[in-house]
Amino acid sequence: MKRIGVFVCHCGINIAETVDVKRVAEEALKMDGVAYAQDYIYMCSEPGQALVREKIKEEKLDAVIIAACSPNLHESTFRTAAEEAGLNPWQCEIANIREQCSWVHSDREKATSKAINIVGTIVQKTRLNESLEPIPVSITKKALVIGGGIAGIQAALDIADSGYKVILVEKESSIGGHMAQLSETFPTLDCSQCILTPKMVAAGKHPNIELMTYSEIEEVSGYVGNFKVRIRRKAAFVDWSKCNGCGLCMEKCPSKVSSVFDRELAKHGAIYVPFPQAVPNKPVIDKDSCIYFKSGKCRLCEKVCEIGAIDFEQEDRFVEEEVGAIITATGFETLPVADLAEYGAGDVPDVIDGLAFERLLSASGPTVGEVRRPSDGTIPKEIVFVQCAGSRDPERYKPYCSKICCMYTTKHALLYKHRVHDGQPYIFYIDIRTGGKGYEEFYHNAEEEEGIIYLRGKVAKIFRDGDKTVVWGTDTLTGRNIEIAADLVVLATAMIPKDSTAELVKKLRIQTGPNGFLSEAHPKLRPVESINSGFYIAGAAQGPKDIPETVAQASAAACKVISLFSRDHLEQDPAIAWVDEDLCGSCRICISVCPYDAREFDEEKGIVIVNEALCEGCGSCVAACACGATQQRNLSDSQIKSMVTASLGGG
């Protein structure tokens, strides 16, 4: 019989407070097959791991069970330790007595007997565990980065600089994202364009980066190291290989379309580039606003284009690519002002959002950096900034803090004061949150030196009265209600994930949290990985964050990809499904239940086989198999049966 060692972790007081760990070890020692049992305060620490290694040798153990936290956290830690002591890693099992016991119970007596029971079931499993070898899988050393904002650009550059190929896919016709819209950036007030555009150019020119702008992900299949991606290259109706970017077509186009880039504060033609510093600097035709596409007449752009780059017949193309890792950096958008009913529901012209105000401040914006309000183009003398417009409001809008608004609103008020010296900015806030290097100092200076009036309270209502925009708010420090007849109101609207993200994550099969932001594998220790291997996340698609944090996360995600690519091959967990060929009745139910397309019918053998590279070991086919032909390694029917018996208190 196998000699099994059981090691019970206190996890500080996380487990020991609720579970009598000494008794768990005592009881474990009485179980069939258990040759050694011991508790220790931090089993994952070096002395803890040393204890495991030492006892494997001393006690001649054939297998070990670590009764501790979830296997998600430290299974690989302890399997490595076991391997170092000469055991096959699959002879090391975790009994989860933290997440599934101590953290969810308060009765010490009952929790202790449950912990003993959990250990008992794992002992049953371990007795029948086979020694396994990992399955080697090849890697395609090319990355896909989805989203061409600052996060995607940074990640692509870092991977490309280390010598690997990258495909950078962007939905719009130019990379740059929201950062390209910003005027100056907090807390140093360096111009956003000046620090971003060189990176855009670098990404556009890098020999290892293939830019696919005006493109969208259509389909993703495969697995870590070996993804197949189908990409839709949307019809631009301009042959970019011919276009020299002269811009004559855009000058002559008679259509007028509100510019999304300029937050509808300016117009461009139906053929346009979103902004002059675009990369690539090639125009696209917006089919919905083009006179030719609507009425069959015009084609003025075609006439003026001397090199014949306009192509009305162009259609969407599809390309297939193979990549080894995918970074999702799809960024954010902001809660539409139209959704904020109490703030005028988008019907008050001089109520705009923070991004629109960035365009008013930007030297390349529609007002060339002069602060002029949308309704009549006059310079506002009183501006009210409203923070938390839709954030920190669980009853009506978003429950979370959008994190960047305290800082950018202070920056807005400050830049406004620098442009309009006799102007008066007011800021309504709930709290001022300035965690970040140099942030508090920036706010402090603005508040003390720049004459900005900070009012602590929420704004209840905003409406238009003549040419004024009236703001009703409250100042909770004086307890008074406040009415300001402002010339312009700027709402710091909540950051939300891009609406296309929801559709994309379905194709990628990665997870999002309750507010639609991408989920990380571990909130502290694995912040740039998705739980599904081979997928990485970066930037505001994961949650509200500012530029420094976005860039740091993008580089971290790139680093994870580079470390993946630095290996010769990947190792796939062998604890997956296998088929007893004599028993398979080829009913193919397993094919229909497999969520990973890992089951396929083998014409020659006449049975259904397992694609070991695709199988994730979920067990669906094992449960579905009518004749018991499909079994899971180290979770066989006999193992499960003896585990159930043990958990019900039987021997």
Partner 1 sequence: MAKIAYYPGCALNERSSHLDRSARDATVRLGFELDELDTWTCCGAVPPVSEERVMNLIAPSRILKDVRDSGRDILITICDFCYNTLKRTNYSIKSDEITRKRVNAFLADDTPERDYLEKDDSLWEDYAGEVKVIHLMEYLRDELGYDKITESLRRSLNGLKIAPYYGCVMLRPQNEIQLDDPENPSIIEDFVTALGAQSVAYPYRTECCGSYLSVSSPEASTRLCYRILTSARNNGADAIVVSCPLCFYNLDSRQKAISEAYSDFTPVPIFYFTQLLSVALGVEFGRQGFEKHYVDVTPVLDRIGINTGLGGVE
Give, as ranges, the residues between 203 and 242 that touch partner 1 (CB under 8 A): none
> What x-and-dash track marks residues 562-601 binding partner 1 by CB under 8 A?
----------------------------------------
Written as one letter, the residue type at 24 is V
Site stretch for partner 1 (CB under 8 A), options 98-106, 129-137, 313-321, 463-471: 463-471
Distance of alpha carbon 338 from alpha carbon 31, whole angstroms: 66
Residue 236, Cβ density class (10 Å: 0-12 exposed, 13-18 middle, ≥19 buried): buried
Query: Shortest approach of partner 1 to residue 421 CB, angstroms?
Result: 32
Q: Site residues for partner 1, window 71-100 (CB under 8 A)?
A: none
Q: What tokens does 540 get? A: 């505001």
Q: In the complex with partner 1, which residue's Cβ is closer, 187 or 390?
A: 390
Interacting span for partner 1 (CB under 8 A) from 83-91, 150-158, 202-210, 457-465? 457-465
Cβ neighbour number for residue 540 with a 10 Å cutoff: 32
CB of 395 to partner 1, least distance (A): 9
Label residue 24 exposed, middle or buried (CB < 10 Å: 0-12, 13-18, 19+): buried
DSSP structural state of residue 99 = I
Greatest distance between any 2 Cα atoms in the chain = 90
Q: Report the nearest approach of partner 1 to the CB of residue 477 (Å).
A: 24
Q: Of 103, 240, 293, 463, which one interacts with partner 1 (CB under 8 A)?
A: 463
For partner 1, the closer of residues 167 and 340 by Cβ is 340
* Closer residue to partner 1 (CB): 345 or 593: 345
Is the Cβ of residue 134 or residue 346 nearer to partner 1 in the bound state? 346
Q: In the bound complex, what is the minimum distance in angstroms from residue 475's beta carbon to partner 1?
A: 19
How far apart (Å, rounded) are the C-alpha atoms in residues 135 and 171?
A: 37
Name the region of 187 (left: φ>0; alpha: ψ -120 to 50; beta: rest).
Answer: alpha
Please give the DSSP secondary-structure letter assigned to residue 568. S
Of 64 and 348, which CB lies nearer to partner 1 in the complex structure? 348
Closest to partner 1 by CB, 265 vs 462, is: 462
Minimum distance from CB of 466 to partner 1 (Å)? 10
Nearest-approach distance from CB 481 to partner 1, in angstroms: 12
Report the candidate in 42, 131, 13 with the shortest Cα–Cα distance to residue 52: 42
> Which C-beta is closer to partner 1: that of 285 or that of 471?
471
Taking CB under 8 A as the binding criterion, the range among 203-211, 310-318, 379-387, 462-470 that sits at the site for partner 1 is 462-470
Decide: is 461 part of the binding site for partner 1 (CB under 8 A): yes
Whole-angstrom Cα distance, residue 230 to residue 227? 10
* Closer residue to partner 1, CB minimum distance, 143 or 351: 351
**Cβ at position 295, least distance to partner 1 in Å:** 33
Name the minimum Å distance from CB 346 to partner 1.
Answer: 10
The least CB distance from residue 393 to partner 1, in Å, is 12
Contact with partner 1 (CB under 8 A) among 288, 313, 465, 604: 465
**What mask, x for binding partner 1 by CB under 8 A, covers residues 402 to 441?**
----------------------------------------
**Shortest distance (Å) from residue 10 CB to partner 1:** 41
Among the listed residues 137, 390, 175, the one whose alpha carbon sits nearest the alpha carbon of residue 278: 175
Helices (H) and strands (E) in the chain, counts: 17, 34
Which residues are paired to 630 by β-bridges?
A: 579
Cβ-contact 153, 203 below 8 angstroms: yes
Taking contact as CB under 8 A, which single stretch among the options 147-155, 326-334, 443-451, 461-469 is the one that binds partner 1?
Answer: 461-469
For position 470 contacting partner 1 by CB under 8 A, the verdict is yes
Q: Which stretch binds partner 1 (CB under 8 A): 161-169, 420-428, 459-467, 617-625?
A: 459-467
Q: Which is nearer to partner 1, 101 or 462 (CB)?
A: 462
Nearest-angstrom CA–CA distance, 410 and 438: 13
Query: CB of 515: closest distance to partner 1 in angstroms?
Result: 19
Per rule CB under 8 A, is residue 556 in the interface with partner 1?
Answer: no
Cβ contact 598:611 at 8 Å: yes
C-alpha pair distances (Å), 428 with each of 124, 201, 545: 62, 39, 21
Assess contact for 167 and 210: CB atoms under 8 A: yes
Dist. CA 310–CA 411, nearest whole Å:
42
**486 neighbors 466 (Cβ within 8 angstroms):** no
Q: Which residues pair with 372 in a beta bridge?
A: none
- Chain centroid, CA 448 distance in Å: 38
Which of residues 313 and 395 has its CB atom nearest to partner 1 in the complex?
Answer: 395
Residues 317-356 as x/- pattern, contact with partner 1 by CB under 8 A: ------------------------xx--x-----------
User: Which CB sits closer to partner 1, 461 or 480?
Assistant: 461
Instruction: Please answer whether residues 180 and 196 qualify as being in contact, where contact means their C-beta atoms are separated by less than 8 angstroms.
Output: yes
3-state secondary structure 455-486: EECCEEEEEEECCEEEEEEEECCCCEEEEEEE
CB 423 within 8 A of CB 383: yes
Q: Which residue lies nearer to partner 1 by CB, 135 or 345?
A: 345
Using CB under 8 A as the binding rule, whether residue 46 contacts partner 1 is answered as: no
Closest distance to partner 1 from the beta carbon of 462 (Å): 9
Measure the CA–CA gap between 98 and 14, rounded to whole angstroms. Answer: 7
Q: If you ran DSSP here, which 8-state letter would residue 494 be given?
A: P
Q: Considering the complex, what minimum distance in angstroms separates the CB of residue 341 from partner 1?
A: 3
Question: The tokens 């029917």 sit on which residue?
Answer: 637
Nearer to partner 1, 215 or 469 (CB): 469
Cβ atoms < 10 Å from Cβ of 130: 12
Contact residues for 641 (Cβ-Cβ < 8 A; gap 6+): none
Q: How far is the CB of 345 from partner 1 (least distance, A)?
A: 5
Distance of CA 101 to the CA centre of its chain: 30
Nearer to partner 1, 389 or 607 (CB): 389
Instruction: By CB under 8 A, tell whether 480 contacts partner 1.
Output: no
Q: Footprint of partner 1 on this chain (CB under 8 A)?
A: 341-342, 345, 461, 463, 465, 470
